[in-house]
Structure formats: structure tokens, C-alpha cells
Chains A and B, each alone.
Chain A
Amino acid sequence: MMELSVRLPLARFPLEVEARFTSASVAVMGRSGSGKTSLLEVLAGLRRGARGRVVVGARVLLDSAARVDLPPEARRMGYVPQDALLFPHLTVAQNVRYGARGGRGARVDEALALLELEPLLRRYPATLSGGEKQRVALARALASAPDLLLLDEPLAALDVALKERVLPYLLRVRDEARVPMLYVTHQLGEARALAREALLLDGGRVLAAGAADAVLGSAARGVLAAEGNEEENILEGVLERPEGHGPRLRVTAELALWVPDGPGVVTGARAAYAVPAEDILLSTGPLSGVSARNVMAGAVTALEPAGPGGCAALVDVAGHRWVVRLTQVSVDELGLAKGMRVHLAVKSAACRRLR
């Protein structure tokens, strides 16, 4: 579905990317300045001097050998830059309609609905919050009916207030609009929640590429932990409310999570929750008499270094993989090892709703 073979000289190193992807959602990860944004710009046709071959779907966008280098307007890429770059002289509605010409009108309504922009239609970009700008930029790209969305992560995702995070909307874009996407992020949890495949860049080169599970493991953790990125578990599911109880997120038939109650918690609604890897308690013995409402039994599938003195334990619970952040000291004291049976405890208050 996508074939990349790109070379571009950058200020500090050359960008050299060779990769093939077959799925419709690919995460691009790497520390700041590793060439992620440059790669998106090459795909969008905004970097002159890029050489190689880029094929998206059945269309050849760049083929230096055959002297093919489509201009940006002919590439059908939905580019969503880091800082949104909305047209300041146009309203939200005009921004979203900007690229929707020639029978693409239906896409506008779909994009506006999907990103919940109806209340903002007449506002100007200067009056929007960061998260709102990002949603408008995403809608604008979607409404142009692109072959591929190119999304540059808005800031370091964890610094952004929960309600400002774009991830829940991206999940909807992936599942409802079904537009293929290439998504740049610093957040391992987001990448795992969103992507089927991943590309890990370091210093302009490919460190790993392929299935998300394989790429977003220890190599990615090692690269990203050096930057002090926190990690979180992201769970999607449907909200339910058993008789006489508070709300619960049904993730799979075997896995459900008690979550905090609140005004927006509606039975039957789809929702996504984030649980920071540091907020999970891990025990080697059975847990009883703890206040945490979510207690799950599972097995350690891997222990990976994560940052200085830190360790990430990957725990399989009913087929869902949790990431638990521990110190190396705890790992040694507990005698944790691969294959061990453990229990995880998560306070419902640690489950934070996205959006």
C-alpha cells in the first residue's frame, strides 16, 4: 500500500528511509530531530531535492529514476502540520472547505461531524485553543479526500491537557472515515493504540520498520525513554454500567476496567482511556484487601529497560498487553522474570478519559 525509498540531505545528517507498509495506519516514531517531520514533508512534496521513489496505493508520487516528481497539489496527501497552520483569514468552515473542490462537498460534512466542529464553524483560528486548531487542521485535510493522511504530532502529547488530545478523533478517523494515515508521535501508547505498523527513525535512518508490535518494543522504548517520555496504556471500548455499580469500560469479552463516573460517561458510548504505566501496581502474590478496584491476573511476557534505572514489564492479561513501569530495584527485589504469574492493580481514578 505504501513504498518508501527516500534520500534527502538535511542540515545534520542525510535522511535515508527504505520501508514498505501494507496496512492503513502507520506510526512514525523517533526522538526530536530524527527526521520524522522531514519525511512527512517529502511525502507531501514540500521538500525539493528529495530523491528516490515514493508510491502510495497505486500512484507513483516520486521516482527520480523516471524523472517523476509530482507537485504538492497533484499528490492528494492530507497534510496536518504540527502547528496546524490554519489560514488565519478564513473561518473554521472556510478552512475545512478549502481543499474540497469538484464534488468533494460530501466530505466536508463528514469531516465536520467526525471532528465535532459544528459549534466552531464561524470562529476564526486566532480564537481557537491548540486542540481545536489541530482538529480543524485534521478536518481540512480529511475534507480534501486524500489518499493518505500525514499527521505530525501536535506537541509532546502528554503535555497536552486530556480534553485537548487528538487521539480519540484519530481513532474515529481510522475506524469511521477509513482514510489511511501516517502518524508521527512521541507516545508509545498512542502509537500502539493507533497503528498496525510502525517506523522507528533515529538520526535520519530506519532503526526498525514493520508490524507495530515488533517495532514498538524495546528498541522504541530505548530511543524514547532517553527523552524522558512517559508511557501510557490506552484502552478503547464501550462503556457499560452493571446493575448497582459504577461505569465500566468493556475492552474485550474477558477484559473490563472500572472507570471514574462523570457527566460525559454514557452507557453504550465508545470511549478511550489512558492509564499511565507508572500508575499500575504489580504484585507477585494474590492481591486482597486493596482499595484499587481493578485487579487483574496475568503473566509477564517481557522485561525491558526503560530509561535510567527504570524497567518496563509487559504483562499479558486476557490477551491484552499492559505496560507497567517499575524501577530496576523493584524488579530485583520481586525477582520478576519472564513467564511469572503476577497481579496488576489499577485505581479507577488512574483511568483518565481521553477527550
Chain B
Amino acid sequence: MTEGLSGLVLFTLTVAALATALILPPGVAAAYVLARWRGPGKGVVETVLALPLVLPPTAVGLVLLEVLARDAPLGRLLDGLGVDVVFTPKAVVLAGAVMAFPLLVRSARAGFEEVDPRLVAVARTLGDSRARAFFRVTLPLAWRGVLTGTLFAFSRALGEFGATVLVAGNIPGRTQTLSLAIFQRTQMGRDGEALGLAGVAALLAFGAMYVAEVVSRRRGARVRT
């Protein structure tokens, strides 16, 4: 199914996009809560959410593998539903999602923190419920942060290797992404081919990061009070 370069690129872009889409709702929600909530234990929650950034990706992959194992509660539940994750494309999406999550949350949170809560208060006196004020005021004012975070997350998922290789394996035509293919070609001594793939990966990463840069640099150009 992923025969040839175009298949490989398409598969890599697809799983990265799915991973990003998967974490977007919970990531934005977590970012908003972290930006507004002043309760106890906030530091601990923030640290836990940031862990995938600094842990060895293989360690994260190992944890995922354990959680999804047939004898673990979640694995048993999924097995009972007939859902197979480990060593399938679903595992590639999952690994990318988990590794990209903290990047999304960090940028989106910075975006939400820039929104004056008193603007939301005014929106509510004008008849908005909490939810309506979020979509009419908070999100439009924080969108650059959210978009930047989304692009960072996408870029991270695009190049994910360590967690993916543990939980999804490196199966050509099934779970193999660009970064996994580079590793495989190198192992096989096909360095030239690996280098070519690395060039393609660099091009994709450049595209996503460039857009993220442009968006974040223009942050607030118009919306200063």
C-alpha cells in the first residue's frame, strides 16, 4: 500500500495529520484550563503534560506498549471491542499524537494567557454564555497561539521515530513512515536512498515550520488594544 516514494510521503502526512486532529480538542481544552485555572497542583499537572517532551521517546513507546498489551486493562478493553492497535497504522497515529501533545498545549496555552479575562466578562454582560464567549472572544484572540501549536504538533508527529518504532514496529507498506524508512535504508546500507528520503523529510518539515514561524511572528500585529 505504501509502495514507492509518493505512497510513503502520503502515509507519513496522513498519520501526522490524523495524530494532530486527534489531540486538537483535548489539547486546546487542556491549554485553556491551564491558562485560566489557579488551583493547587497546577505545577504537577503542567509537568506531567510536559513529560513527553523530555523523556526518551522509546520510554514513551514502551509505556504505550504496556498500556495497550492484551493483559493490561485498556488493552483488554480494546481487544474485547475487536480493535487492534499495536503494530498497526493506528499505533503510528497514537505514538505521534502522544509525542506531539505537549507542543500543542504549550503554544495554545501561551495564546490563551494573552487574552484579557475582562474582555470575556464584558462579552458575558452582553448576553454571552461562558461557551459562547469562548468561541466569540477567547478563541479568536488566541487563534495564533492555537495554530502555531497545531503546526508544531504536526511537525513533531511528522518526524516521530522512537515511540513509533516500539509500538508500531517498522513494517514497510503497513506502519513505515519516512523517518522509519530512513532508518531501515541505513541499516540495509542503502545510504544514498536514505539520504534522498532525509531530503524529502527535511522539505516537509521546512514547510510546516515555515508556516508556523510566519504565523507566530505576526502574532498580535493587529490586535493590540
What is the interface of chain A, defined by CB distance below 8 A to chain B?
A: 44-46, 71-73, 75, 77-79, 81, 85-89, 98-99, 101, 124-126, 140-141, 144
Which residues of A are found within 8 Å of B116, using beta-carbon distances?
A: 85
With A87-B137, A89-B141, A101-B127 as given contacts, are A72 and B121 in contact (CB-CB < 8 Å)? Answer: yes
A224 to B224, CA, bound (A): 34
With A46-B121, A72-B121, A81-B118 as given contacts, are A88 and B126 in contact (CB-CB < 8 Å)? Answer: no
A-B contact pairs, 6 of them (CB 8 A): A45-B124, A46-B121, A71-B124, A71-B129, A72-B124, A87-B119
Contact A86 B125 (CB under 8 A): no
Taking a contact as CB atoms closer than 8 A, the residue among A75, A87, A88, A126 that contacts B125 in the complex is A75
Taking a contact as CB atoms closer than 8 A, the residue among B129, B224, B225 that contacts A73 in the complex is B129
The B interface, classified by DSSP as helix, strand, loop or mixed, is helix
A79 to B119, CA, bound (A): 11
Contact A81 B122 (CB under 8 A): yes
List B134-172 residues whose CB lies under 8 Å from chain A.
136-137, 140-141
CB of B218 closer than 8 Å to a CB of A: no
Contact A79 B125 (CB under 8 A): yes
Which residues of B are found within 8 Å of A101, using beta-carbon distances?
A: 127
A78 to B127, CA, bound (A): 10
Contact B223 A89 (CB under 8 A): yes
Taking a contact as CB atoms closer than 8 A, the residue among A72, A75, A126, A140 that contacts B223 in the complex is A126
CB of B128 closer than 8 Å to a CB of A: yes
- Across the two chains, which residue of chain A brings its CB closest to B125? A79
A78 to B126, CA, bound (A): 7
A281 to chain B, nearest CB (A): 44
A144 to B126, CA, bound (A): 6
CB of B38 closer than 8 Å to a CB of A: no
Which residues of B are found within 8 Å of A79, using beta-carbon distances?
A: 122, 125
B154 to chain A, nearest CB (A): 25
A72 to B118, CA, bound (A): 12
A98 to B136, CA, bound (A): 9
B35 to chain A, nearest CB (A): 17
List B106-122 residues whose CB lies under 8 Å from chain A.
116, 118-119, 121-122
Which residues of A are found within 8 Å of B129, using beta-carbon distances?
A: 71, 73
Which residues of A are found within 8 Å of B225, using beta-carbon distances?
A: 86, 88, 125-126
CB of B123 closer than 8 Å to a CB of A: yes
- Across the two chains, which residue of chain A brings its CB closest to B224? A126
Which residues of A are found within 8 Å of B224, using beta-carbon distances?
A: 88, 126
Chain B 208-225 against A: per-residue CB contact (8 Å), 1 yes, 0 no?
000000000000001111
What is the interface of chain B, defined by CB distance below 8 A to chain A?
A: 116, 118-119, 121-129, 136-137, 140-141, 222-225
Contact A89 B140 (CB under 8 A): yes
Contact B127 A88 (CB under 8 A): no
With A87-B119, A88-B223, A88-B224 as given contacts, are A44 and B141 in contact (CB-CB < 8 Å)? Answer: no
- Across the two chains, which residue of chain A brings its CB closest to B119? A85
A347 to chain B, nearest CB (A): 40
Contact A124 B222 (CB under 8 A): yes
- Across the two chains, which residue of chain B brings its CB closest to A47? B121
Which residues of B are found within 8 Å of A144, using beta-carbon distances?
A: 126-127
B123 to chain A, nearest CB (A): 7
A213 to B140, CA, bound (A): 47
Beyond the given pairs A45-B124, A81-B122, A124-B223, 19 more chain A to chain B contacts, judged by CB atoms under 8 angstroms and listed by A's residue number, are: A44-B121, A45-B125, A46-B121, A71-B124, A73-B126, A73-B127, A77-B125, A78-B125, A87-B119, A87-B123, A87-B137, A88-B119, A88-B141, A89-B141, A99-B127, A126-B222, A126-B224, A141-B125, A144-B126
